[in-house]
């Protein structure tokens, strides 16, 4: 049946279908975020009476003003940027090395290591809070951003390592053998040849780790008491009072919170779009 339609029209249908599918997904992905934005510009008095409409009768920027000028949000923001950035950096270095090791070497204990990485993901974090709190306490790292970074690094290492291993696996061995034969060290092979070829994967990993650290709530809440060290997610939680949730401000803060993740990702996009540059493979 399809064969009966001329190729040109088939292609057109195909692309039309493509665009429809993409548009449908974009609407799905954006709608809750649009809703968040809508609530952030709705005046409190209209919040519930006009709750279900697609756009409020009156809009206001009061929530954004309040969040930026009267709350500690700029501080929380900064803390989150520091923590997430540090986490992403450290994890990338550690996981690239570890992923490379798992990819390239055969050694006793390799299965055990992989199993260990997996095992740490299966235990709900809620259960490890008390022991971690005690360990961090003994190291005097509670209530500190560096303590939080260490914890986030640990959380993200398994996932990042597995990803980096998979991407390293995709790079043919002859490339680094070439470097070694030429007299380079393995480390040079890793940094100069392998990692650049795993760039899309590495960028995806960095993006994920940054975002994971940015939105993490539980540990940031449990570990940090000092308001000057609180992160963005904990700050959001503080809008939820017992008797009054300040939805407008909370959603305004959430919209602002999307900005760093977006920016970060826009920066990384370039590397995701570039595939293997021609010529490197057969080099």
Partner 1 sequence: MRPAFARNPLGSGFAARSLRRTAEPWLYLSPALVILVLVLFVPLVIGISYSFRRFTAFRSSYVGLGQYRTMLHDPALGQALINTVWWTAGSLAFQFLLGLGLALVLNRRFAGRSVVQAIVFLPWAVPSFLAGLTWAWLFNPVIGPIPHWLYAVGLQSQPRNILANPHLAMWGPIIANIWFGVPFFTITLLAALKSIPADLYEAAALDGATVWQRFMRLTVPFLAPTIAITVMLRTIWIATFADLIFVMTGGGPAGSTNTVATYIYVSAFRAMDKGYAAAVAVLLLFLLVAYALVLIGMRRRLLPQ
Partner 2 sequence: MKNKPGCRLKGLLKTATAAMVLGVLSRPVWADTTLKVVEVIPSPARTALLQQEFASFEKSHPGIKVQLTSLPWAEAFEKFLNMVQAGDTPDIVEMPDRWLGLYANNDELLDLTADFKRTSSLANLSDRALQFGSAVRGKLYEIPYGFYVRGLFWNKKLFAQAGLSAPPATLADFVSDAKKISAMPGKYGYCMRGGPGGFSGITMFMNTMDGQPGYFHSDGTSTLSDPGAIQGLQLLATMYKDGSAPPDSVNWGFNEIVAGFDSGTCAMLDQDPDALIGIAGKMNADDFAVAPIPVGPGGHAYPTLGYGGWSIFANSSHKDAAWQLLSFMVSPDNNLAWSKVVGTLPIYKDAEQNAHFQSDKFKGWFTELNDGSKYVLVTPPTYLEGFGDLYDNISIKTFQQVLLGQRTAKDVADQWASYLTDQLKAYKAHQSAN
Q: Which residues bind partner 2 (CB under 8 A)?
A: 44-45, 47-49, 51, 70, 129-130, 133-134, 137, 142, 221-222, 225, 227, 234, 237-238, 240-245
Which listed residue (1, 6, 123, 243) binds partner 1 by CB under 8 A? 123
Residues 196-235, mask of contacts with partner 1 (x by CB under 8 A):
-xx-xx-xx--xx--x--xxxx--------------xx--
Q: Does 159 bind partner 1 (CB under 8 A)?
A: yes
Between CA 55 and CA 65, with CA 61 as vertex, the angle to 5 degrees is: 150
Residues 22-61, mask of contacts with partner 1 (x by CB under 8 A):
x--xx-xxxxxx-xx--x-------xx--xx-x-------
Q: What is the largest CA-CA distance in the chain?
A: 74
For the CB of residue 245, give the shortest distance to partner 2 in the complex, in Å.
6
Q: Does 243 bind partner 1 (CB under 8 A)?
A: no
The residues, any chain, with a CB within 8 Å of residue 206's CB and separated by 6 or more, are 88, 91, 92, 268
Give me 4's structure tokens. 């009966």
Contacting range for partner 1; rule: CB under 8 A; set: 57-65, 66-74, 222-230, 274-282: 274-282
Number of residues that bind partner 1 (CB under 8 A): 107
For the CB of residue 242, give the shortest distance to partner 1 in the complex, in Å.
16
Q: At what angle do helices 7-40 and 247-273 cross, to 10 degrees?
A: 150
Give me 221's structure tokens. 């809440």
Residue 244 binds: one of partner 2, partner 1, none (C-beta under 5 to 8 A by kind): partner 2
Which listed residue (5, 12, 65, 262) binds partner 1 by CB under 8 A? 262
Q: Find where tokens 């809620």 sit.
A: 126
Q: Which residues of 105-136 are buried (b: 16+ CB within 10 A; e: fewer)?
A: eeeeeeeeeeeebeeeeeeeeeeeeeebeeeb
For the CB of residue 43, give the shortest distance to partner 2 in the complex, in Å.
10
For the CB of residue 241, give the shortest distance to partner 1 in the complex, in Å.
14
Residue 77 binds: one of partner 1, partner 2, none (C-beta under 5 to 8 A by kind): none
The CA-atom distances, in angstroms, between 226 and each of 14, 102, 103, 219, 278 are 56, 40, 42, 14, 52
Q: Does 175 bind partner 1 (CB under 8 A)?
A: no
Q: Does 85 bind partner 1 (CB under 8 A)?
A: no
For the CB of residue 244, give the shortest distance to partner 2 in the complex, in Å.
4
Distance of alpha carbon 193 from alpha carbon 184, whole angstroms = 11
Q: Which residues of 265-278 are buried (b: 16+ CB within 10 A; e: fewer)?
A: beebeebeeeeeee
Residue 258 binds: one of partner 1, partner 2, none (C-beta under 5 to 8 A by kind): partner 1
Give me 77's structure tokens. 């923001």
For the CB of residue 266, give the shortest distance to partner 1 in the complex, in Å.
6
């Amino acid at each position: 049946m399809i064969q009966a339609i001329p190729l040109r029209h088939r292609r057109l249908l195909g692309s039309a279908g493509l665009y429809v599918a993409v548009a449908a997904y974009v609407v799905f992905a954006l709608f809750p975020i649009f809703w968040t934005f809508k609530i952030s510009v709705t005046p409190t008095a209209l919040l519930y009476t006009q709750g279900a409409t697609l756009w409020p009768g009156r809009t206001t920027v009061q929530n954004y003003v309040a969040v930026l000028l009267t709350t500690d949000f700029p501080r929380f923001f900064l803390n989150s940027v520091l923590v997430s950035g540090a986490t992403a950096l450290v994890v990338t270095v550690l996981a690239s090395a570890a992923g490379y090791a798992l990819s390239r070497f055969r050694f006793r204990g390799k299965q055990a290591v992989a199993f260990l990485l997996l095992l740490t993901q299966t235990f709900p974090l809620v259960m490890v809070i008390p022991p971690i709190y005690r360990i961090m306490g003994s190291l005097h790292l509670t209530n500190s951003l560096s303590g939080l970074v260490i914890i986030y690094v640990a959380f993200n290492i398994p996932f990042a390592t597995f990803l980096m291993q998979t991407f390293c696996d995709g790079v043919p061995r002859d490339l680094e053998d070439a470097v070694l034969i030429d007299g380079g060290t393995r480390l040079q092979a890793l940094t100069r040849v392998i990692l650049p070829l795993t760039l899309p994967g590495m960028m995806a990993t960095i993006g994920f780790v940054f975002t994971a650290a940015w939105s993490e709530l539980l540990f940031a809440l449990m570990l940090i008491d000092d308001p000057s060290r609180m992160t963005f997610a904990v700050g959001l939680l503080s809008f939820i009072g017992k008797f009054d949730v300040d939805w407008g401000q909370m959603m305004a803060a959430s919209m602002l919170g999307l900005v760093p993740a977006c920016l970060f990702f826009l920066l990384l996009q370039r590397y995701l779009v570039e595939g293997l540059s021609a010529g490197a493979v057969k080099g």
